[in-house]
Amino acid sequence: MKSLYRHFVKAATLFLLVLMAFSLSLPSRLFFVKGSNEASLIEEAESKLHVAFEAVLEAESVGANVSGLIARLNEAGELLAEAEIADKIGSFSEAVSKAEQCSVLADGVMDEAITLKGEVLAGAQIAFWQDLTVTAMGSAVFLVAMFFVWGWFKRAYAKKLLRMKLEVASDVEA
Amino acid sequence: MLKLEDYRTVFASVGLIGVLLFASPTLGLVLHLPSGEKFSELWVLGPGHMAEDYPFNVGADVNYLVYVGVGNHMGCSAYYVVYVKFRNQSESLPNATAGTTSPLPPLFEFRLFVEDGKSWEAPLRFSFSNVSFFGDRCLVGSLMINGVTFNVDKSASWDVENNGYYYQLFMELWIYNVESRAFEFHNRFVGLWLNMTSV
């Protein structure tokens, strides 16, 4: 009976020790997971903001009006800055929330920038062909008109030359 | 009277000019003229949006206001970060000649996107707390910037030449480089000298 009791006490003590060790390691492990999680969320938000900005730059380079997108990028940038500051001062939940909001905004901006670029490119292609047609037609009509005017002018010039009379000046010194 | 060959030259010139005029809309889409010098501006203005009334003699638990501004002349939209840093006289500033940044960690930051030819401005409110003086040294415990408190624990020794405990609140301008996909110091910084006068 005594040995059974001793075994029970030993087992209970061992269990308690294991439980204590686990509980001691738990907060730091949780903290670590939490810290790394919010850091990766901030990194993800930052990366998404970079990609969104690059998409906006591409849309701008083809001639799109990106003022609205820039305003929204500024909102996203503000959220990311707040997330980084919150992370710095240890306010992890706020950092996570701001980083997530930033990611959502950046994704939206990127999608819109890609759509806008497509629309502008399609419009620009139509405008280019229209301009090219106007240029080709206009130049051709103008050159043909110039050719006819030149022909008419040449004839008029020849007629004028033929109508001219020879005049001899007697007092001209050679 | 001009000869026929001279008139031919005049007609050919008029024809060429006419064709160029007709082609100008298409040429405008294809040809791009070189842009001017690319640069960015960084400035700090006083509380009245003017380059005056900057805070100088500062004390604890008093709110100060300045405005930070950035102008973009880079030829396209740009993504900037303005880092706000705080230093005492012995700590290093960015080096404009070498183009190197200050090694101090940033306290606060602004992330901003500015279109070409436009500018951005934001208020920077700051105050000091936990300021103490002992001997010829001053210790600033906390610095609050735009509502966020940072523990700085920065000490400054008495400046005999200028009679004061001098600190500097300064801003560095960083720009996002699309090619390297990273921020780089844009070699622009501005700062405010602050003389800590009272607890």
What φ, ψ does residue B189 adopt, rounded to 5°?
A: -150, 150
Q: How far is A21 from chain B (nearest CA, A)?
A: 34
Task: Report which residue type is found at A13.
Answer: T
Closest by CA position to A69, among listed A55, A50, A83:
A55
**Where is pLDDT greater, at A46 or A166?**
A46
**Confidence class for position B62, pLDDT limits 50, 70, 90:** very high
- pLDDT for B100 equals 93
- pLDDT for A19 equals 57
Burial class (CB in 10 A: 0-12, 13-18, 19+), B153: exposed
ipTM above 0.90, yes or no: no
Contact B115 A80 (CB under 8 A): no
Interface residue A18 vs chain B (CB under 8 A) = no
**Where is pLDDT greater, at A149 or A24?**
A149
Which residues lie closer than 8 Å to B48 by C-beta, 6 or more apart?
none
Which residues lie closer than 8 Å to A88 by C-beta, 6 or more apart?
B150
Task: Report which residue type is found at B167.
Answer: Y
CA distances (Å), origin B105, targets A35, B79, B123, B136, B170: 20, 20, 21, 26, 12
Least-confidence region, from A54-63, A97-106, A149-158: A149-158
Q: Are residues B44 and B94 in the same domain?
A: yes
Q: Are residues B109 and B183 in the same domain?
A: yes
Q: What is the pLDDT of residues A64-88, one digit of tens each?
A: 999 999 999 999 999 999 999 999 8
- In chain A, which residues have their Cβ closer than 8 Å to the Cβ of B150? 88-89
* Confidence check: pLDDT of B70 > 80: yes
Q: Are residues B183 and B128 in the same domain?
A: yes
**Confidence class for position A10, pLDDT limits 50, 70, 90:** confident
Q: Which residues of B172-185 are buried (b: 16+ CB within 10 A; e: fewer)?
A: bbbbbeeeeeebeb
Interface residue A126 vs chain B (CB under 8 A) = no
Q: Are residues B2 and B68 in the same domain?
A: no
Contact A132 B76 (CB under 8 A): no
Q: What is the DSSP string of B19-70?
A: HHHHHHHHHHHH--PPP---EEEEEEE-TTSSS-----EEEBT--EEEEEEE
Closest by CA position to B167, among listed B122, B108, B126, B109:
B126
Q: Are residues B188 and B111 in the same domain?
A: yes
Q: Are residues B19 and B69 in the same domain?
A: no
Candidates A54, A73, A131; nearest CB to B178 = A54
Q: What is the pLDDT of residues A96-151, one digit of tens each?
A: 999 999 999 999 999 999 999 999 999 888 888 888 888 888 888 988 999 999 99
Q: Are residues B27 and B86 in the same domain?
A: no
- In chain B, which residues have their Cβ closer than 8 Å to the Cβ of A73? 79, 113
Radius of gyration, alpha carbons of chain B: 27
Q: Are residues B141 and B58 in the same domain?
A: yes
Q: Are residues B95 and B192 in the same domain?
A: yes
- In chain A, which residues have their Cβ closer than 8 Å to the Cβ of B15? 142-143, 146
Candidates B110, B113, B148; nearest CB to A53 = B113
* Confidence check: pLDDT of A37 > 70: yes
Residue of A84, A89, A135, A157 to mutate, interface with B, max B Cβ within 10 Å: A135
Residue of chain B whose Cα is closest to the Cα of A79: B111
Q: How many CB atoms lie within 10 A of CB A15?
A: 10
Q: How far is B136 from chain A (nearest CA, A)?
A: 31
Residue B149's DSSP bridge partners are B144
- pLDDT for A124 equals 83
- pLDDT for B127 equals 97
**Can you tell me the distance from the alpha carbon of B75 to that of B72, in angstroms, rounded to the nearest whole number?**
8
Q: Domain limits of chain A?
A: 2-142
Residue of B22, B68, B143 to mutate, interface with A, max A Cβ within 10 Å: B22
* Confidence check: pLDDT of A9 > 50: yes
CATH code for the domain defined by A2-142: 1.20.58
Least-confidence region, from A126-135, B40-49, B60-69, B88-97: A126-135
Q: Tell me the whole-structure pTM to 2 decimals.
A: 0.76
What are the DSSP E strand ranges found in chain B? Answer: 39-45, 57-59, 64-73, 78-88, 108-114, 119-134, 137-145, 148-157, 165-177, 182-198
Interface residue B123 vs chain A (CB under 8 A) = no
Number of domains into which chain B is organized: 2
Least-confidence region, from B32-36, B72-76, B113-117, B185-189: B32-36
**Confidence class for position A172, pLDDT limits 50, 70, 90:** low
Q: What is the side-by-side strand order in the sheet with B108-114? A: B57-59, B182-198, B165-177, B78-88, B108-114
* Confidence check: pLDDT of A168 > 70: yes
**Confidence class for position A8, pLDDT limits 50, 70, 90:** low
- In chain A, which residues have their Cβ closer than 8 Å to the Cβ of B32? none
What is the mean pLDDT of the segment spanning B50-77?
Answer: 96
**Confidence class for position A36, pLDDT limits 50, 70, 90:** low
Residue of chain B whose Cα is closest to the Cα of A66: B115
Q: Are residues B28 and B121 in the same domain?
A: no
DSSP-derived secondary structure letter, B13? H
Task: Report which residue type is found at B121.
Answer: E
Closest by CA position to B170, among listed B89, B116, B97:
B89
Q: What is the DSSP string of chain A?
A: -HHHHHHHHHHHHHHHHHHHHHHHHHHHHHHHHHHHHHHHHHHHHHHHHHHHHHHHHHHHHTT---HHHHHHHHHHHHHHHHHHHHHHTT-HHHHHHHHHHHHHHHHHHHHHHHHHHHHHHHHHHHHHHHHHHHHHHHHHHHHHHHHHHHHHHHHHHHHHHHH------TT---
- pLDDT for A5 equals 66
- pLDDT for A2 equals 61
Q: How far is CA B198 from the centre of its chain?
A: 30
* Confidence check: pLDDT of A20 > 80: no
Report the CATH number that the domain containing residue B94 is assigned in CATH. 2.60.40.10
Query: Which residue segment(s) compose the domain that B114 sits in?
Result: 39-198
Tokens of A32: 């670590």
- pLDDT for A134 equals 85
- In chain A, which residues have their Cβ closer than 8 Å to the Cβ of B111? 49, 77-78, 80-81
Q: Are residues B174 and B114 in the same domain?
A: yes
Q: Are residues B19 and B49 in the same domain?
A: no
* Confidence check: pLDDT of B114 > 80: yes
Interface residue B26 vs chain A (CB under 8 A) = yes
Q: Are B174 and B77 in contact (CB under 8 A)?
A: no
- In chain A, which residues have their Cβ closer than 8 Å to the Cβ of B9? none
